[in-house]
A and B are shown apart, each in its own frame.
Chain A
């Protein structure tokens, strides 16, 4: 047991992914932390996972349930791969069942208090030598006690009993609004030293879960809301965005884009640990660039991974074959992995975690995502931004090259929201544009940005055939391509303009 008054506040690693970063080391040891949230904000999962992670670290846990009966909890938590029954048999998890009993309407004759419950909790903690305890949820105590002064005094007794026992506690409390009073009865937050808020906000018809440490008496923590998600077999996974530090090594090693001509435009290829954004309207050749990027990697003996959110596997393979690239063979050799998902299957947070898992498992040298715009559809702007930051920083930490595509809404010129969000994060931007000339659609490519390297500033014409992409000469006498209003300029004017700049230099 720790002397709370004299010692600095030690922390207990919870093991909940991301939370220990957020809380700068975990929950204050031997203290109570309130987890407040509206209905369906994952309070019970948090409370359960806190015990589960403890058991996996060899610490026993007590779960005091005020709402759901233990039977329901055992069943509900199975989906996360948590076999509570098994742990109960092994004496690692114990329930104190304070859930409403059927037909339980006691007659009241005089005053009473929660002495019995507190005695049961103390007994369970001592008997099982528990170091973690979850109480879910405190608000239900109000249904057992009529008098709010009595509730207050009993809650304080409970809190001091827990402190005496030296257990680290999670107490959950119901909230009425996402942004309002901390807890329903306004009493709960006074018994805990620390307050964490979980939210499940509806924005743009999409649910967004966040977690925020509101009060962490006397100890450091990250401020603000952090997105989290709930995953099968894992439980809560918090995505700590500010954990992302800009300290990735950036190497001078160049990798091929898969096209010799494009490599030349970029000053002999992409940098190895860089993020490249390919932006263009539909049909300008973005998927082709992804295919070439993969092909170039495999040809150099690299492992390549592509996440496709727009086309099915069959389509992707067929397209690649059309450009002379055999994805099937590459996959058979284990050099390539094609992952196709409908963006709508899950939320962006889950997509991010799924993608991270696959990257960690497959350990590719380069990754392509086709396209980010498809993912933009399924999320709020804020989630999308967090997703992009999370994904790019993760890819950079792995020291691998990433190529993302983004679809511009307009056929000619224009930028997309995707571009606006990620252009500052990417190291290189390649634009693909339609160029309308004399009633004919032609394609143009330009390297808009290439961090840390000289690059070709021309807008070049390119064509696509059964061998892939062929980059040709610059559009010398056309202006306004990027703006989407190509204008033919006389040759003499072009020469005069280029001469003008020469003289100045």
Chain B
């Protein structure tokens, strides 16, 4: 497996607006910024509450970056692309690089 591969888990609650937005946003960010270097698993906590329990998920939507380490949680509907990328370590910390906006 590729060392640089990013493994993500997105916890959502059913068809709520925020959940659907989070799914759309994360796919968009992945496609635009991660190329094909990613895996996203979507977990609906209404259907799999046990998994939310195991990960002690409090709020939805919650995105967990499983790999590469360190583990990072990002919460919200993923509407702030900059923050998501920061959480995914795509923008190196310390460097004031601004990503081009559409």
Using CB atoms and an 8 Å cutoff, list the residues of chain B in contact with chain A. Answer: 11, 13, 16, 18-19, 21-22, 25, 45-46, 49-50, 52-53, 56-62, 72-81, 83-84, 86-87
Q: Which of A101, A112, A123, A145 has the most CB of B within 10 A?
A: A112
The answer, yes or no, to whether A106 is at the interface (CB within 8 Å) is yes
Contact A109 B45 (CB under 8 A): no
Q: Please report the C-alpha to C-alpha distance between residue A159 and residue B77 in the assembled complex, in whole angstroms.
A: 24
Q: Please report the C-alpha to C-alpha distance between residue A54 and residue B11 in the assembled complex, in whole angstroms.
A: 33
The answer, yes or no, to whether A114 is at the interface (CB within 8 Å) is yes
Q: Please report the C-alpha to C-alpha distance between residue A303 and residue B98 in the assembled complex, in whole angstroms.
A: 89
Q: Please report the C-alpha to C-alpha distance between residue A113 and residue B45 in the assembled complex, in whole angstroms.
A: 13
Q: Please report the C-alpha to C-alpha distance between residue A109 and residue B26 in the assembled complex, in whole angstroms.
A: 11
Q: Which of A104, A106, A109 contacts B79 (CB under 8 A)?
A: A109
The answer, yes or no, to whether A505 is at the interface (CB within 8 Å) is no
Question: Whole-angstrom distance from the CB of B59 to the nearest CB of chain A?
Answer: 4
**7 A-B interface contacts by CB (under 8 A):** A98-B56, A104-B73, A107-B87, A110-B76, A110-B79, A116-B60, A123-B50
- Chain A residues, CB < 8 A from B84: 107, 109
Contact B49 A107 (CB under 8 A): no
Closest B residue to A97 by beta carbon equals: B56
Instruction: Give the residues from 111 to 157 in chain A that come closer than 8 angstroms, CB to CB, to chain B.
Output: 111-117, 119-120, 122-124, 144-145
Contact A116 B77 (CB under 8 A): no
- Chain A residues, CB < 8 A from B49: 119-120, 122-123
Contact B73 A111 (CB under 8 A): no
Contact A112 B76 (CB under 8 A): yes
Q: Which of A107, A113, A145 contacts B72 (CB under 8 A)?
A: A107
Question: Whole-angstrom distance from the CB of A122 to the nearest CB of chain B?
Answer: 7
Q: Please report the C-alpha to C-alpha distance between residue A97 and residue B83 in the assembled complex, in whole angstroms.
A: 27
Contact A101 B56 (CB under 8 A): yes
Contact A116 B52 (CB under 8 A): yes
The answer, yes or no, to whether A96 is at the interface (CB within 8 Å) is yes
Q: Please report the C-alpha to C-alpha distance between residue A117 and residue B11 in the assembled complex, in whole angstroms.
A: 11
Question: Whole-angstrom distance from the CB of A439 to the nearest CB of chain B?
Answer: 83
Contact A107 B77 (CB under 8 A): no
Q: Which of B21, B62, B83 contacts A116 (CB under 8 A)?
A: B62
Q: Scoring A residues 92 to 110 as 1 if CB is less than 8 Å from chain B, else 0, what string do you get?
A: 0000111001001011111
- Chain A residues, CB < 8 A from B74: 106-109
Q: Which of B50, B56, B60, B86 contacts A113 (CB under 8 A)?
A: B60
